[in-house]
């Protein structure tokens, strides 16, 4: 046995013949009841294992043998798998733990949620370091308001710019009130499904996820710094997009949805409210991201219909016959394209809700037929009408494949037109209001918000804020709201 001295601590780094389990099973650091309250569940048979991030031999408590045994564990994005058991990390808090006996100690992690806990003890310090690094990316962390300072509100509800106190790095954080999830647990399920997607996938149309925090009152989703505006708000403020810019947005939507469908996912809420236009210097680099995924393993049609404007509800959904949920995205891309082509705000800068603004807009297959017949007077080109007919086709089976649509002649024509026009002028409506990136680290550190920050209800259709305590106050470390484990890939939230 080889013992390595590391400052005041010792750490066992042994070969494969050494039985490390004796130390864990020898001590009385854990009660039997605590060890039997495992939060690992049976792995669904339908789960398809992809490439893991980490794989190690780790000591974990075996319920059948009633002792710690060495087992092979695999770490995937937001999931740990051991044989036929799994644990969703985003439901768990993470805590380092150590068992000491004389000159020996075992170091590991405690992953805890309301169903129980799982202890992982590592053979080497390298394994402990690697697993801790990855697990912290997926688990719920604490003390957000001690580690970060919230600076300013962005133009997206409940989204703020913040600075990491340790190194002045700038991030963007989305903050939610836990009491909203108590009133409607399905909102939490939808949000966590989106978090799971962001944890697992990378795409230009997805926000770059960093970490997840929770305290007694709020849930914080931390992203790499971004700033942008909901497309609907920009149009209400008077932004006018030409056909080339519209084609750029729609093309990105089609490519992104195609990417989602390959992962057996869908969005189901593709509206101008949920399309964020990132702020860039010029429109030749126009970039969008999508937020507020409605994806669920079993889609709740009635609930989804309540959230969507009637024009964005495909015929099959109105009949509660959703056999092809991915086809919903195609229909909604068509609605968005139609909207971008024909919509003009009644009063520039008006603050009416999106649903109110489109009350008189007729988006239908019949309308397209009429536009096609009157092509000389139509504000839509024949190419646009042709693409729209494939997207909002009433029969979902007849909606064309996205790969074929991404090569549609409308996109080809608009790309050719863009090359002739050349570089675009700056877009005044996208002027950066929040310019933290241009500030020095010292300026960022000294900047303090001049307004009282508040979080709007997650169910609000507008931006009206509900007064809340100042978010820059010190945080109570006790977690009173703990999230239950994903059961058959469906989340729920409960009070302890």
Tokens of residue 438, six digits? 């241009």
Q: Is the pLDDT of residue 279 over 70?
A: yes
pLDDT confidence bin for 466, thresholds 50/70/90 = very low
Residue for token pair 């003890």: 121
Please state, in angstroms and rounded to a whole number, the distance separating the CA atoms of residues 110 and 120: 7
Q: So what's the pLDDT on residue 351?
A: 65
Handedness of CA 420, 425, 427, 433 (dihedral sign): positive
Cβ–Cβ under 8 Å, residues 293 and 267: yes
Q: What is the mean pLDDT of residues 433-449?
A: 34
pLDDT of residue 42: 86
The band of 298, judged by pLDDT with boundaries at 50, 70 and 90, is: low
Residue 280 pairs in a beta bridge with none
Grade residue 282 by pLDDT with cuts at 50, 70 and 90: low
Q: Which residues fall within 8 angstroms of residue 203, CB to CB, at 6 or more apart?
A: 256, 259
Domains with residue ranges and CATH for the chain: 3-140 (2.30.29.30), 144-226+436-446 (3.30.200.20), 229-430 (1.10.510.10)
pTM of the shown model: 0.78
Closest CA to 44 of 326, 297, 259: 297
Return the H-helix or E-strand segment holding 160: strand 159-164
pLDDT, average across residues 260-270: 90
Q: Enter the tokens of residue 361.
A: 């807009």
Rounded mean pLDDT of 45-74?
A: 84
Task: Give dist(CA 359, CA 178) in Å, integer.
Answer: 33
Three-class secondary structure assignment of 429-478: HHCCCCCHHHCCHHHHHHCCCCCCCCECCCCCCCCCCECCCCCCCCCCCC
pLDDT at 35: 85
Interval 310-336 mean pLDDT: 87
Q: What's residue 225's pLDDT?
A: 94
**How many helices and strands, by DSSP H and E, does the chain display?**
17, 19
Contact predicate 142/218, CB 8 Å: no
Give strand pairing partners of 299.
none
Mean pLDDT of 48-67: 85
Helix (H) or strand (E) holding 60: strand 54-62
pLDDT tens readout for residues 354-366:
777 777 777 776 6
Q: What's the pLDDT tens digit per position in 200-236?
A: 899 999 999 999 999 999 999 999 999 999 999 888 8
Residue 317, both tokens: 């959904």
List, in sequence order, every beta strand (DSSP E) within 77-143: 79-82, 85-88, 93-101, 104-113, 116-122, 140-141
- Which percentage of the chain shows pLDDT scores above 70? 71
- 350-389 b/e with 16+ CB inside 10 Å = b? eeeebeebbeeeebeeebbeebeeeeeebebbebbbebbb
Assess whether pLDDT exceeds 50 at residue 86.
Answer: yes
Query: Quick one: pLDDT band at residue 55, thresholds 50, 70, 90?
Result: very high
Phi and psi of 78, rounded to 5°? 70, 20
Alpha carbons 312 and 320: distance in angstroms, whole number: 14
| DSSP codes of every residue in 179-248 | HHHHH-HHHHHHHHHHHHHHHH---TTS--EEEEEE-SSEEEEEEE---EEEHHHHHHTT----HHHHHH
What length is written for the chain?
496
């Amino acid at each position: 046995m080889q013992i390595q001295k590391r400052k005041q601590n010792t750490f066992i780094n042994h070969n494969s013949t050494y039985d490390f389990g004796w130390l864990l099973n020898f001590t009385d650091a854990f009660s039997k009841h605590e060890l039997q309250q495992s939060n690992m569940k049976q792995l669904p048979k339908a789960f398809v294992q992809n490439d893991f991030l980490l794989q190690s031999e780790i000591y974990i408590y075996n319920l059948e043998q009633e002792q710690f045994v060495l087992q092979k564990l695999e770490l995937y994005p937001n999931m740990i798998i051991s044989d036929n058991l799994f644990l969703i990390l985003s439901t768990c808090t993470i805590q380092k733990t150590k068992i000491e006996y004389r000159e020996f100690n075992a170091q590991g992690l405690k992953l805890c949620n309301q169903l129980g806990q799982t202890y992982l003890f590592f053979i080497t310090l390298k394994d402990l370091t690697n697993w801790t690094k990855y697990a912290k990316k997926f688990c719920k962390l604490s003390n957000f308001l001690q580690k970060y300072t919230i600076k300013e509100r962005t133009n997206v509800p409940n989204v703020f710019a913040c600075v990491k106190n340790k190194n002045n790095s700038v991030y963007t954080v989305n903050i939610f009130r836990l009491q909203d999830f108590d009133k409607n647990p399905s909102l939490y399920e939808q949000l966590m499904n989106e978090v799971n997607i962001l944890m697992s996938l990378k795409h230009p149309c997805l926000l770059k996820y960093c970490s997840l925090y929770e305290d007694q009152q709020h849930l914080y989703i931390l992203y790499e710094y971004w700033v942008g505006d909901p497309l609907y708000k920009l149009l209400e403020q008077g932004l006018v997009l030409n056909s080339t810019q519209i084609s750029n947005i729609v093309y990105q939507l089609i490519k992104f949805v195609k990417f989602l469908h390959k992962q057996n996912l869908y969005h189901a809420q593709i509206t101008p409210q949920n399309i964020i236009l990132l702020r860039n210097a010029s429109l030749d680099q126009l970039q969008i991201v999508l937020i507020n995924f409605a994806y669920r393993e079993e889609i709740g049609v009635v609930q989804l219909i309540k959230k969507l404007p009637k024009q964005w509800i495909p015929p099959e959904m109105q009949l509660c016959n959703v056999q092809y949920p991915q086809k919903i995205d195609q229909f909604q891309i068509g609605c968005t394209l139609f909207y971008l082509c024909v919509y003009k705000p009644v009063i520039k800068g008006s603050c009416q809700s999106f649903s109110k603004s489109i009350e008189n807009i007729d988006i239908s297959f019949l309308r397209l037929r009429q536009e096609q017949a009157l092509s000389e007077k139509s504000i839509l080109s024949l190419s646009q009408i042709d693409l729209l007919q494939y997207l909002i086709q009433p029969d979902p089976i007849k909606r064309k494949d996205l790969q074929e649509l991404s090569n549609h002649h409308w996109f080809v024509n608009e790309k050719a037109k863009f090359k002739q026009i050349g570089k675009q002028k700056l877009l005044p409506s996208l002027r950066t209001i929040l310019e933290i990136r241009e500030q020095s680290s010292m300026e960022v550190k000294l900047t303090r918000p001049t307004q009282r920050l508040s979080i709007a209800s997650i169910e609000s259709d507008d931006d009206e804020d509900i007064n809340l305590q100042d978010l820059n106050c010190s945080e109570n470390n006790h977690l009173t709201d703990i999230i239950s484990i994903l059961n058959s890939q469906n989340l729920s939230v409960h009070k302890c």
